[in-house]
């Protein structure tokens, strides 16, 4: 049996302000380990809302979301916080870097929080990731001083430091030039195929989406 990292069944999501509106309608799909998947759809189709649920940041929904075999619905906040730090890497627009900390410290932080690596090992791993993403020369700078594209690459390095089972992103290459977008794409491709890490990325880039293993397309809150 294939290892299902994400299993979503019968998910409905409503917003109540200014009036009740069903944003996600009976969403069901699963993703096996090592898949590089793209989540696509027009603006307003529900992509960010779905990703927010899958990332366990929003717990208000109907249905079932299983990540690595664990039902996340109904779990208490501290359990979810630990689960996220161990198993999920994010590159989200709402998930900002700490502007007063250096790039290096931002990347190290999730590893130090997890407590499996020594400070020295975390520094080494963070440096390696920054190098892989072409921003090692920015390591000692406060992230407030970096360009949007550099910040995005630091955020990707931070998302990868705990070797998460699943990496989720909302337009993770949206601020990057084509060279660096290609670099990030190739890195995601490599870690999914070589390490078996699962990647789910919202993208508007048709070409990017077509080159992934799997496209999940939303139309008006439903899987097309």
Ligand X SMILES: Nc1ncnc2c1ncn2[C@@H]1O[C@H](COP(=O)(O)OP(=O)(O)O)[C@@H](O)[C@H]1O
141 versus 217: smaller Cβ distance to ligand X? 217
Q: Give the residue carrying structure tokens 């809150």.
A: 221
Smallest distance from the beta carbon of 18 to ligand X, in angstroms?
8
Q: Which of residues 72-101 bind ligand X (CB under 6 A)?
A: none
C-beta of 164 vs 169, nearer to Mg ion: 169
Choosing among Mg ion, ligand X, none, which partner's interface includes residue 46 (Cβ < 5 to 8 Å by kind)?
ligand X
Binding-site residue total for ligand X (CB under 6 A)? Answer: 11
Q: Which is nearer to Mg ion, 105 or 170 (CB)?
A: 170
CB of 38 to ligand X, least distance (A): 13
Beta strands in 148-207 (DSSP E): 166-170, 198-202
Does the protein bind Mg ion through residue 48 (CB under 5 A)?
Answer: yes
Alpha-carbon distance of 101 to 78, in angstroms, equals 25
Query: Of ligand X, Mg ion, none, which one does residue 172 interact with (CB within 5 to 8 Å by kind)?
Result: none
Q: What is the CA radius of gyration of the chain?
A: 17
Q: Which residues contact 161 (CB under 8 A, 6 or more apart)?
A: 89, 107, 108, 110, 111, 122, 125, 126, 129
Q: Residue 89 region, left (φ>0) first, then alpha (ψ -120 to 50), else beta? A: beta
Q: Among residues 34 and 221, whose Cβ is nearest to ligand X?
A: 221
* Site for ligand X, residues 7 to 26, rule: CB under 6 A: 15, 17, 23
Peptide bond into 18 cis (omega under 30): yes
Binding-site string for ligand X from residue 32 to residue 61, where x marks contact by CB under 6 A and - marks none = ---------x-xxxxxxx------------
* Contact present, 159 and 167 (Cβ < 8 Å): yes
**Where do contacts with ligand X occur on this chain (CB under 6 A)?**
15, 17, 23, 41, 43-49
């Amino acid at each position: 049996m294939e290892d299902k990292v994400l299993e979503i069944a019968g998910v409905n999501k409503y917003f109540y302000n200014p009036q009740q509106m069903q944003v996600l309608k009976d969403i069901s799909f699963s993703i096996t380990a090592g898949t590089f998947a793209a989540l696509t759809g027009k603006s307003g189709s529900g992509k960010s809302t779905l990703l927010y649920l899958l990332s366990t940041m929003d717990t208000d929904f109907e249905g079932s979301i299983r990540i690595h075999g664990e039902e996340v619905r109904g779990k208490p906040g501290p359990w979810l916080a630990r689960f996220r730090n161990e198993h999920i890497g994010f590159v989200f627009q709402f998930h900002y870097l700490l502007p007063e900390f250096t790039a290096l410290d931002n990347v190290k932080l999730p590893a130090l929080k997890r407590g499996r690596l020594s400070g020295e090992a975390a520094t080494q791993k963070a440096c390696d990731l920054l190098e892989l993403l072409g921003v090692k020369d920015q390591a000692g700078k406060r992230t407030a001083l970096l360009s949007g594209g550099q910040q995005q690459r630091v955020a990707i390095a931070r998302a990868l430091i705990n070797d998460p089972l699943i990496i989720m992103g909302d337009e993770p290459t949206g601020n990057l030039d084509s060279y660096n977008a290609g670099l990030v794409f190739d890195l995601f491709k490599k870690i999914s195929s070589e390490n078996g890490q699962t990647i789910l990325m919202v993208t508007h880039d048709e070409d990017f989406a077509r080159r992934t293993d799997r496209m999940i397309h939303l139309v008006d809150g439903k899987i097309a």
